[in-house]
Amino acid sequence: MKPKKLTPDWSIGKQPLYLQLATIFRPRVETGLWPRGEQTPTLEMLMREFGVGRVTVRSALAELESEGLLVRSRGKGTFIQDLPANAPQKFVVGTTWEELVARGNLNALTVSLNTAREAAWPLPAWCGTQAGQNQKYYLLERVYSRQGIRVCYSRVFLEASIYRRLKTEIRQQAVLTVLGNDRQTHIQSGKQSITIISAGDDTAAHLHIPVGSPVAEITRSIYDTENKLIYWACVHYDSRYIRLDFDLVK
């Protein structure tokens, strides 16, 4: 006996039902589950699959049509479009030190916000880490865009003497890339953690996304050979544009 397909509990979501449905349809288009050039499943098929009404399905498809993913043809139906030429590629996040250093040069990103200022000691409580009492830092804030879409908002606390020595390079490249290529910076250890969270008001404003949207929060801490914290970062990626690749066997 074929098991009955479970349908989502739509009452849990806070978004309108048609937007929740569009969120399910969108990856079917983006991944090719609904092949390019083919017709979408009929309204009746989608109504049965998800247990929703005709108007809800139509509204969800209209949402994807407004994004350029679908096209309606009078008398023929709704068809899957090729992805727009300007659709942003996934941002691949490095999972090793070597990858992080290299990708600062490889990712074709535009910096739409780039500020630096002296940071008050101690580091803010939200950093979740401790720094030496006599250490001073600069706070660097950046927003990275790809193909006109904001994909990443970063806050970096960098040890003050390193920033002053390398600020010209730092203005032109990712901070980790500069550190990794600097012969005077000797790194002993580093950690990176990744958590999926909801965007707060500050992140939402910087990335131009709704408050509560899913974002990937990546925190990094780098220590020198004297076990001094020289770099701490909190980076928020719009979860729609991030990808992590891991080698399972090396």
What domains are defined for the chain? 10-80 (1.10.10.10), 91-244 (3.40.1410.10)
Q: Give the Cα separation of 246 and 250 in Å (integer).
A: 10
* Cβ atoms within 10 Å, residue 60: 24
Q: How sure is the predictor about 3, in pLDDT bands with cuts at 50, 70 and 90?
A: low
* Cβ atoms within 10 Å, residue 208: 11
Of 67-71, 110-114, 179-183, where does the model show the most confidence? 179-183
The pLDDT assigned to 85 comes to 59
Alpha carbon 101 to chain centroid, angstroms? 18
* Residue showing tokens 């942003």: 88
Q: How sure is the predictor about 103, in pLDDT bands with cuts at 50, 70 and 90?
A: confident
The pLDDT assigned to 121 comes to 63
Q: Give the Cα separation of 79 and 174 in Å (integer).
A: 41
Element (H, E) at 54: helix 54-66
Instruction: Check whether 1 has a pLDDT greater than 60.
Output: no
Lowest mean pLDDT among 134-138, 166-170, 234-238: 134-138
Give residue-wise pLDDT tens across range 37-59: 899 999 999 999 999 999 999 99
**Averaged pLDDT of the chain:** 86
Mean pLDDT across the stretch 100-118?
76
* Cβ atoms within 10 Å, residue 18: 19
The pLDDT assigned to 12 comes to 79
With pLDDT > 70 as the criterion, what percentage of the chain qualifies? Answer: 88
Instruction: Check whether 211 has a pLDDT greater than 60.
Output: yes
Give residue-wise pLDDT tens across range 170-207: 888 889 999 999 999 999 999 999 999 999 999 999 99
Q: For residue 137, what are the contacts with CB-CB under 8 A and spacing of at least 6? A: 118, 119, 121, 123, 131, 157, 158, 159, 160, 163
* Cβ atoms within 10 Å, residue 225: 10
Quick one: tokens of 39?
């017709």
Lowest mean pLDDT among 18-22, 133-137, 224-228: 133-137
Q: Give the Cα separation of 63 and 182 in Å (integer).
A: 48
Instruction: Check whether 129 has a pLDDT greater than 80.
Output: no
Lowest mean pLDDT among 13-22, 97-106, 125-134, 147-156: 125-134
The greatest distance separating any two alpha carbons of the chain, rounded to the nearest whole angstrom, comes to 73
Question: CA nearest 241: which of 94, 119, 91, 103?
Answer: 91
Backbone φ and ψ for 109, nearest 5 degrees, come out as: -120, 155
